[in-house]
Chain A
Amino acid sequence: MSRIDEKLKSLKAGKRKALVIFLTAGDPGLSASYDLTLCAFDAGADIVELGAPFSDPLADGPVIQKSFLRSIARGANLTKTLILAEKIRKTNENPLVIMLASTLVINHGTGRFMRDCASSGIDGLIIPDAPLEEAGEFTGKAKKAGLDMIMLAAPTSTPSRLRRICSMSRGFVYYINVSGVTGGASADRKEGVKPIARLKKLTSLPVLAGFGVKTPAQARALCKTADGVIIGSKAIEIIHSAKSKTVAVKALARFVRSVRREMDRK
């Protein structure tokens, strides 16, 4: 059983929901990312998703795009993201997931990438631009390295695709809450509730909802059916608007705690 499986299983046993926080590796700097990750865990995040910066992320809105570009400008890259993960792993036992564009995996060498992830203490990976049709290029090597490859399901996915996504995914199924890019406006905070209920019937894996999740209330509403939520753009926004690293760490902790509280409220 992977670290992700264990974490989600123990949450379920305690009737709690999972909170995943997405952070860009290297924005506003690699040492800041280290502090922010530990702070997110301390404040109640169950899993941290580290985004390896890419110049042209297609499924991301302006907040993450700009965050990636800042990170690249400061010299971050995939190799440094892996080193960051290794450093975090030395002091923390919570699950770490890496999120990155397929081209970065290919550029690193797919097999080598999976092995490097595993030796850095990374537990799972999300390649948002590797749908069912292309995932085969990565799943075998991920499995061999003992990594959970988390697949995405969308509001537009047909029932037969959802079934295949569920059977291919490991760790959890990532439900894309809105048809659009990350950080976009979510018209209705309950938008994902029904589709997630349908999705859950297809799989025994936990289903976590991401994209457009910004407020504690929204997280709580989604958790009516979802097993947890993934928050990215909002966290990046909070970090970026802080005047210093110390302020950013405090602000992120405050935000994560507020979401955690709302999700845990009976």
Chain B
Amino acid sequence: MNLPDSSGHFGQFGGQYVIETLMPALKKLDKEFDKAMRDQKFHKLLERYNSTYIGRPTPLYFAERLTAHCGGARIYLKREDLNHTGAHKINNTIGQALIALRMKKKRVIAETGAGQHGVATATASALMNLECAVYMGEKDMERQRLNVFRMRLLGARVVPVSTGTKTLKDATSEAIRDWIGSSADTHYIIGSVVGPHPFPKIVREFQSVIGHETKFQVMVKEGRLPDVLVACVGGGSNAIGLFHPFHHDEEVAMVGVEAGGLGLATGKHGAPLARGKIGTLHGSKSYQMLDPDGQVMDTHSISAGLDYPGVGPEHSYYKKTGRAKYVSITDKKALDAFKKLTQLEGIIPAFESAHAIAYALTQAPKMKKSEMMVICLSGRGDKDVVVAQSELG
């Protein structure tokens, strides 16, 4: 059975936990999106932007020195860091901006944490001449000033969010609140496989280009499917993008890496799949970091992109059914991996992606040399060098 079902559920997860005011807009979006998916012209248009604007397909790179260093499985990196704007986020924003145009919406809104999704949305908006507002927590604006400037340069309005924790969680809430009042002329370009149905499906479909390309590329290079796929998981869009096209291939193991922060035992982390409970946040049911009263807890991660208390419903489903395994990596290990990949391969990874690399550093040595691991390198680390400088000295 293909998930989500028609009501947007992945087993018990997902759904549409939003106020009635938004339901008609979600229904319309679902219908329009399905229509676009059946439209060859839409696919051709998307394909043209993918190849000539984003720079796809991205390479599947054999990391020879990293492999030798680990001394086990052959490690491939899916180079999403080489996309225009430096991360996988643009795969989704171009697709959704095209959907906005199809629906004749003149304005788009988005939420952003570190600013990667905000920049990718502002970029797509500039390209397609859409009015763009990006909600960003005040704390994140302070931490990521350069991305704030980038978004403004691209013509977007950056709206400071001063409520709650002043980070991604609250930026997402504010974007949804905007949409409750503006859905008639505005499309909400959500940045991850979270939110009410059909968003987890839409974002997955646009990010699945990662997994589809990987499948083709790995067959050409190795003549078989990989043994294990590894990707970091915040909301989980790059991971779903890589995993989903393989989810029927049972011989392929899938490992999602959450933010271990200062360690799961400290409570200061971003690992709802490891330590969360089932609840509803931002419109869908999934695992979340909730306190005993059911309130959403503050999260911590060195990586802003993983600093989120919820996770996509499809990941929640994969965890519940055992289809994928979820582990966590601490800030410290992620930083070590950040340095290691830079020195071994000349590739500076985003802190988010460094979590996936760190997992590989511990697991690849335990695997056979005949085995093969594909890691999604979801973004480049330019945005993180300032923090890295202060952390690594």
Contact = CB atoms under 8 A, between A and B. Distances in A.
Interface string A128-162: 11111110000000000000000111111110010
B24 A156 contact: yes
Contacts of A176: 19-21
B12 to A, nearest CB: 10
B369 to A, nearest CB: 47
B25 interface: yes
Chain B at the A interface: SS class: mixed
B109 to A, nearest CB: 14
B295 A152 contact: no
Interface in A219-247: none
Contact of B17 (A61, A129, A158): A129
Given A62-B163, A179-B181, A184-B181, A133 B278 contact: no
Contacts of A65: 163-164
Interface in B269-318: 277-283, 285, 288, 290, 293-296
B280 A101 contact: yes
A29 interface: no
B63 interface: no
B282 A58 contact: yes
A47 B270 CA distance: 41
Interface residues of A, number: 44
A213 B19 CA distance: 18
Contacts of B144: none
Contact of A103 (B18, B19, B184, B290): B290
7 contacts: A56-B170, A58-B180, A128-B19, A133-B16, A176-B21, A180-B181, A181-B180
Contacts of A106: 278-280, 285, 294
Interface string B4-40: 0001100000011111111111000000000000000
B19 A59 contact: yes
Nearest to B297: A55
B147 interface: no
B366 interface: no
A133 B23 contact: yes
B18 A58 contact: yes
Given A58-B180, A154-B20, 9 more contacts: A103-B288, A107-B277, A151-B20, A152-B19, A155-B21, A156-B24, A179-B181, A180-B180, A181-B177
Contacts of A184: 181
Nearest to B309: A56
A182 to B, nearest CB: 10
Contacts of B7: 133
B290 A58 contact: no
A43 interface: no
Given A131-B19, A131-B23, A103 B281 contact: yes
A32 interface: no
Interface in A55-69: 55-56, 58-59, 61-62, 65-66, 69
Given A157-B23, A179-B21, A181-B177, A103 B280 contact: yes
Nearest to A62: B163
A107 B23 contact: no
B355 interface: no
Contacts of B85: none
B23 to A, nearest CB: 5
Given A78-B294, A158-B24, A58 B19 contact: yes
Interface of B: 7-8, 15-25, 163-164, 169-170, 173, 176-177, 180-181, 183-184, 277-283, 285, 288, 290, 293-296
A56 B295 CA distance: 8
A179 B19 CA distance: 10
B16 A58 contact: no
Contacts of A131: 16, 18-20, 23
Contacts of A83: none
B178 to A, nearest CB: 9
A101 B293 CA distance: 12
A14 to B, nearest CB: 30
A30 interface: no
Which of B20, B23, B25 has the largest number of chain A CB atoms within 10 A? B20
B169 to A, nearest CB: 7
Given A59-B180, A61-B177, A107-B290, A157 B281 contact: no
Contacts of A134: 15-17
A101 B295 CA distance: 10
A58 B18 CA distance: 8
A107 B283 contact: no
Contacts of B288: 103
A132 B176 CA distance: 19
Given A128-B19, A179-B21, A104 B294 contact: yes
Given A156-B24, A156-B25, A179-B180, A56 B17 contact: no
Nearest to B16: A133
Interface string A183-214: 01000000000000000000000000000000
A165 interface: yes
A156 B16 CA distance: 16
Contacts of B21: 59, 154-156, 176, 179-180
Contacts of A108: 294
A133 B285 CA distance: 13
A54 B283 CA distance: 14
A78 B295 CA distance: 10
A102 interface: yes
B24 A161 contact: yes
Which of A59, A132, A165 has the largest number of chain B CB atoms within 10 A? A59
Contacts of B22: 156
A77 interface: yes
A181 B181 contact: yes
Interface in A110-140: 128-134
